Structures are given as C-alpha cells and as structure tokens.
Amino acid sequence: MIGTATAGLMFPTDASRGQAKAESSAMLTRTIPSSGEKLPVIGLGTWRAFDVDLTSGVRRQLEDVLSMFVKLGGRVIDSSPMYGRAEEVIGQLTSALAIRDKLFLATKVWTRGNQSGIQSMERSMSLLRTNRIALMQVHNLLDVNTQLATLQEWKQQGRIRYTGITHYESGALSEIERRMRSQKFDFLQINYSLMEPEAEERVLPLAQERGVAVIANRPFGSGDLFGKVRSKPLPDWAAELDCRSWAQFFLKWIVANPAITCAIPATDKSRHLEDNMQGGIGRLPDPKLRRQMTEFVSSL
C-alpha cells in the first residue's frame, strides 16, 4: 500500500501542477552582480520604434505595446538622447499609463565635457518625467572618464542606481575589455546576436569575472537575421526549446549565455512584443544545442 506522502510525490496535486505551470510560463530572470537585484531577461529597446510623432493612432499602438510589456513581466526599457523623440515618448506614455514604478528605465549620455554631460542627463530625466533613473550609460565610450566620474557622483547622491558603458561596434571590444579591467561600473551594453557573436570570445567571460551585468543590443542584427531566415521553417528540434518563432529562436540563443542579463529587442507592434517576450520563457538551449543553432543559421 502506498502511503499518503509517497502518493503525493508520485501523483501531483492540482496545486503543485498549477505551481509548476506558473513557473514554466514565468519570465526567466538574471541577477545584477553588483546588487543582487533580478531583472527579466527580455527588455524593450526604443531605437526607431519610439522615435515618432504621437498621433492618436500611434499613441494607442505604443500604449498597447507598453501595457503588454508590463503585463507579461517586462521591466527594462532602454533609450537614449540619440534616439530622437524616444525619451520624450517613453516619458509621456509611461506617465499616462501610470506604470513608471514598474519599470527599470535606462538611458545614456553622449557628449564631451562635465557640464555638457550634466545638462544632457538632466534633460533625459525631464523628458522621461522622472527624478531618478535606474541605469545611466556612457554611450560609445565618448569622454568616458569625465562622464563616468559624474555617474559615480550621481549614484552616490541616489539620482541613478547603476552606471554603465556602451558601444555598438565590434572593433571597440578590446577597449571595452581594457575598461572593464581598469574601471568600475555596473553594466555593459554591446551588440550580441547570432549575427554578431564576437563578444562571447573574451568580453562576456570577463564581464562574469568582473561582476558586470550585460545588456545585449541589436539581438536581431538590426533585422538582418530575419532576412536570412525569411520563408524558411524552424527546424523540428526547435520544439525542444519551447520555441515557436524565429524571434524566440534568436533570443533564446542570446539569453542562454549566462553572462547576459537582458536582451532588448525594439518593436512598436504588440504582436511582435508578445512574441519577443516568449523568448525568455520555457527551456533554453544547452551549449551543445547553442552550437547547433549557430551552425544551422550559418548554413542558410
């Protein structure tokens, strides 16, 4: 005769089944090494997608995107003064939707000189309609020593919570590596995708070693990856990853790297947003399957 406790282990209760289902459908999170705070692995980029005039139709469309983003567990929204009206649009919409407190807002400073940097960051805060930003990043390492010094001061004052640096060219990876070894900051944002995997050779392992969180920019290679797979079906074995689209395929390859804290695909369409968010849910590829994914896409 099977005891009650043993039977409970062999035959899950409705409650345990419900818990397992909830866990399997929850967004994967990663820890920010410098603080222990956890972030969802899929965020939202704003380049081009939010650099728009807010006509009534566009406003409704982007409000739907942001509302769904939060509903599905998203937190990280990354912007920049270089993205045209994106900061202003994000500020207006997140204020109107009353979702600011649920978000991890990140933006950048891209200028030379101490005072110019301060003015740029003050303007970003004004446009984003907040007096405290989660992450401020020195974009493309421009005047990085000057700007990082200000970022550290603002962090101590509580105006920002985390500091970071960014670059969008693979040719800058050696300089990024040097900076990680010589300077202290919390985040690094770089290109990383099946189209641009160069960072995984030295920079990503070093980020883990130095306790730096990593945001993966251009996860779809500025859309080039979709051009590569257009009209081609997913391989049958993609089902092993709970993967139902190419967007999920590309994102799961990225976030399966333990050095990655968050990937930030940009979109202005709620159906694409919902698809992207699934890239952080369910099973992820192990190293062997990641190599298979790389080889498969390279063969197309």
Model confidence pLDDT, tens digit, residues 94-146: 999 999 999 999 999 999 999 999 999 999 999 999 999 999 999 999 999 99
- Going by pLDDT thresholds of 50, 70 and 90, the confidence category of residue 8 is very low
Q: Cα–Cα distance between 148 and 71 in angstroms, integer?
A: 34
List for the chain the helix, strand, coil content (%; round to 5). Answer: 50, 15, 35
Domains of the chain: 38-298 (3.20.20.100)
User: pTM for this structure?
Assistant: 0.91
- Residue 160, pLDDT > 60, answer yes
Q: Cα–Cα distance between 188 and 165 in angstroms, integer?
A: 5
- Going by pLDDT thresholds of 50, 70 and 90, the confidence category of residue 14 is low
Q: Which of 13-17, 80-84, 151-155, 198-202 has the lowest mean pLDDT?
A: 13-17
Which stretch of DSSP H or E encloses residue 293? helix 287-298
CA distances from 52 to 55, 61, 95 (A): 9, 11, 17
Pairing of strands 38-40, 44-45: unpaired
Q: Cα–Cα distance between 44 and 216 in angstroms, integer?
A: 11
Q: What angle do CA 138, 49, 233 make, to 5 degrees?
A: 110
Q: Cα–Cα distance between 86 and 26 in angstroms, integer?
A: 29
Q: Cα–Cα distance between 184 and 23 in angstroms, integer?
A: 35
Average pLDDT over residues 232-248: 96
**Residue 126 and residue 156 in contact, taking contact as beta carbons nearer than 8 Å:** no
Taking the mean position of all CA atoms in its chain, how far away is CA 232? 27
Per-residue pLDDT tens digits for 39-62: 999 999 999 999 999 999 999 999
- Residue 299, pLDDT > 80, answer yes
**Residue 176 and residue 165 in contact, taking contact as beta carbons nearer than 8 Å:** yes
User: Helix (H, G, I), strand (E, B), or coil: what is residue 22?
Assistant: helix
Q: Cα–Cα distance between 280 and 251 in angstroms, integer?
A: 7
Average pLDDT over residues 26-49: 97
- Going by pLDDT thresholds of 50, 70 and 90, the confidence category of residue 292 is very high
